[in-house]
Amino acid sequence: MHTPTDQSILVTGGAGFIGSHLAEKLVADNDVVVLDNLSSGRREWVDNRATLIEANIQDTQAVARAADGVDLIFHQAANVSVERSVDAPIESHETNVDATLRLLEHARKEDARFIYASSAAIYGTPESVPIDESDPKEPTSPYGLEKYTADEYCRLYHELYGVETVTLRYFNVYGPRQRGGQYSGVIDIFLDQARRGEEITVHGDGEQTRDFVHVEDVVAANCLAATHGTSGEAYNIGTSNSISVDNLAQLIVDTFKTSSSITYIDPREGDIQQSCSSIKKAHQDLGFNPNWSLDDGLKTLW
């Protein structure tokens, strides 16, 4: 069985981009509570069989209510923007670290399994690619450091208290419902610019690479992590393929035959250069196999 059944489940960020797809997958066979402040998520993305608690992840009372009696927690709520963490590091830390630690305490109290949305940003600029889970962690942004701290707390909660934790280090997730305006993911931004016929804005020289993984594959990884016995472990979740941002812009222009031209703007503070996952460990331990190619994924988004 690769999807949890008959469990009481909390999905934080469950009205958002990744969380809403995950909650949708779980709701038929489980009791699902969604905790979300609807900052980037939307009420209409929450299946009406789930219970929506509309609150901030830092609202301790709401979080306690949401976590009461749960068997399984998928922690997706976060500030997901590297750029925003550079602009407002304290706020980002409170959301990404403090709130995660408090949620781990609930997992400990409830004896709940805890699946954490970690990030490839923890590795910083790698010495070589593909990146292995044991490679050095030298984050280049507050966001990367916050995700690394929380990722390590998950490991520690397993070691110290026996909490069943699994951290999934997402590479660049894309797909339907990725909407975040200025702070959104690059695919969402480029598609938006292409649709409007506006200039496609590449930061720096565009040589930086990313490993884009479709949200449906990320949902599958979460379900595998929830149903496989392994805990205290961390897994890269990507595709093992990468593309430069420049080539991504060109691919979008060619695929959608847009009138947009590509323009180069200032490099972004905190940006990592190369990113490409090794997913051997997730494949071996969890049976993870991404199904979506970037070409197919992009076509469904136009």
Please state the closest distance from residue 260 (CB atom) to ligand UD2, in A.
12
Using the rule CB under 6 A, which residue among 10, 15, 120, 163 binds ligand UD2?
120
CB 255 within 8 A of CB 200: no
CB 20 within 8 A of CB 45: yes
Please state the closest distance from residue 301 (CB atom) to ligand UD2, in A.
14
Q: Where does residue 59 rank: exposed (0-12), middle (13-18), buried (19+ CB within 10 A)?
A: middle
Using the rule CB under 6 A, which residue among 46, 80, 163, 286 binds ligand UD2?
80
Identity of the residue, 228 or 268, whose beta carbon is nearer to ligand UD2 in the bound complex: 268
Nearest partner of 187 among 256, 121, 92, 265, judged by Cα: 256
Residues 225-254 that bind ligand UD2 (CB under 6 A): 245
What Rg, from alpha-carbon coordinates, does the chain have?
A: 18
By the rule CB under 6 A, 276 interacts with ligand UD2: no
Within 8 A by CB and 6+ apart from 244, the residues are 206, 207, 208, 209
Q: How far is CA 189 from CA 64, 77, 196, 201, in A?
A: 36, 21, 11, 9
By the rule CB under 6 A, 224 interacts with ligand UD2: no
Where does this chain touch ligand UD2 (CB under 6 A) — which range of 21-29, 65-73, 74-82, 218-226? 74-82
Identity of the residue, 37 or 119, whose beta carbon is nearer to ligand UD2 in the bound complex: 119
By the rule CB under 6 A, 208 interacts with ligand UD2: yes
Using the rule CB under 6 A, which residue among 55, 62, 156, 189 binds ligand UD2?
189
> Between β-strands 8-12 and 212-214, what pairing exists: parallel, antiparallel or unpaired?
unpaired
Identity of the residue, 92 or 231, whose beta carbon is nearer to ligand UD2 in the bound complex: 92
User: What is the three-state SS of 73-88?
Assistant: EEECCCCCCHHHHHHC
By the rule CB under 6 A, 23 interacts with ligand UD2: no
Residue in 143, 153, 157, 174 annotated catalytic: 143
- Residue 143 appears among annotated catalytic residues: yes
Q: Locate tokens 């602009």: which residue?
A: 87
Q: Applying CB under 6 A, which residues contact ligand UD2?
A: 80-82, 119-121, 170-172, 184-186, 189, 201-203, 208, 210, 245, 268, 271, 275
Active site residues: 143
